Structure 1
Amino acid sequence: MVFHSVERLITFESFENFLEQPENRDRRYELIHGEIVEKTMPTEQHGIVVTRFLVRLYPHLERINPDVRLGPEIRVRTPGDIHNARQPDISYFADTTRPLSDRGVVERMPDLAIEVKSPTDTYQELRERADYYLANGTRMVIIADPAERRFTVLTPGAVRILNEADVFEGGDVLPGFQMRVSEVFP
């Protein structure tokens, strides 16, 4: 007789209940393919890179639209995907006509997702995240690697590697935005 173990995948509804537990309220979790995964606490370097991105992006985007939707650690999910709720390090949403989410999750992927590689992350993990975002509607993903001082910029059908001396251009996702890659790295 053969027995097969059946892995029970966590749904988004169960994940939300998990997050409401008092012991989980101040911790950082994601739901990835039906599994609850705790995000590591960011290092000082990670926080500085995120802040430098935000400080450069926000004024540019605010000039385009004062109701800019840009922020760190915003939980996102694709409607209908009951096994995923992700938290990119930075999310930008071009559409400001939808109601602003004041709790829980934004029911769509960001137009831009930025992930900053921490020492405990593997490039493969970050690439899988990027592929998930792109497959679900994100138009651009930037993987910023402080150790290598480079960006991997992914768009549907294209991957570009930019080193610290290169200039990143935002294309149609961030029209008119430019910065040297080195500007975000301490």
Structure 2
Amino acid sequence: MVTPSKTEIETLIESLPVITADEFERLLSQPEYKNGLFELIHGEIVEKMPTERHGFIVFKLILLLGMYIERTKRGRGVTEVLHRSPNDPYNARQPDIAYYRDASRQIVEDGAVMHMPDLAIEVQSPTQSRREMREKADYILRNGGKLVWIVYPKRREVEVCTWTGESLAITTLNDQAILTGGDLLPDFTLPLSEIFPPKTDTPASE
């Protein structure tokens, strides 16, 4: 079996010691990081590797959440924005989609948003495990987030994650269920069948 060679960026990431979020943000301004999506997880740089299916689902969610925001004039949404906790110098997390209830807050024009979003939406990529997805949800909720939706494209499931005050609470929905926004997104309903690509007999390669 031939072992694939590491890319230049993978080699660079592996050579870096544990770094702070401030150092990470400075690195992102360098040319070799311009064309990728990166997070800082406990001091280590992790590259996000989305596929077409991942992009399809994210796009559908952006459209549907955006329609809700436009219709209700409630809140504001963004995509692929870094979020940090002021008390944690070793993490900078980047949800696929983030929603803030307070649309009047001034938009951050440079660097990470220094708090967690009210709602974070994560779509699993082939390189991410369920444990990693739940760890990210746990981190966001522990640090001030209110709600996290984790989408699993292969399983065609969504996990609705909230914080009990002590631990992560998870409700799993299949692709025939209706996703609602609870108190955070009043009157928001989404048939989950609308966000997944049509089923095929032979799965497409990742």
TM-score normalised per structure 2: 0.82
1:172 corresponds, among 174, 183, 187, to 183
Instruction: Give the Cα–Cα distance (whole angstroms) in 2 for the partners of residues 109 and 39 of structure 1.
Output: 19
Letter in 2 for 1:88: P
Letter in 2 for 1:179: L
Segments of 5+ residues of structure 2 without an aligned counterpart are 1-15, 198-206
1:184 corresponds, among 164, 187, 195, to 195
Q: Please state how far the C-alpha of 1:97 moved relative to its aligned partner.
A: 2.5
Question: Partner of 2:204 in structure 1?
Answer: none
Question: Partner of 1:57 in structure 2?
Answer: 65
1:27 corresponds, among 17, 28, 36, to 36
Instruction: Give the Cα–Cα distance (whole angstroms) in 2 for the partners of residues 80 and 141 of structure 1.
Output: 21
Instruction: Give the Cα–Cα distance (whole angstroms) in 1 for the partners of residues 17 and 190 of structure 2.
Output: 45
1:13 corresponds, among 2, 13, 22, to 22
Identity percentage of aligned residues: 47
Instruction: Give the Cα–Cα distance (whole angstroms) in 2 for the partners of residues 120 and 35 of structure 1.
Output: 16
Segments of 5+ residues of structure 1 without an aligned counterpart are 1-6
Question: Partner of 2:95 in structure 1?
Answer: 88
Q: Please state how far the C-alpha of 1:184 moved relative to its aligned partner.
A: 0.5
Q: Please state how far the C-alpha of 1:8 moved relative to its aligned partner.
A: 5.5
Question: Partner of 2:170 in structure 1?
Answer: 159
How large is the RMSD of aligned CA atoms in angstroms? 1.5
Instruction: Give the Cα–Cα distance (whole angstroms) in 1 for the partners of residues 73 and 34 of structure 2.
Output: 33
Instruction: Give the Cα–Cα distance (whole angstroms) in 2 for the partners of residues 154 and 139 of structure 1.
Output: 9
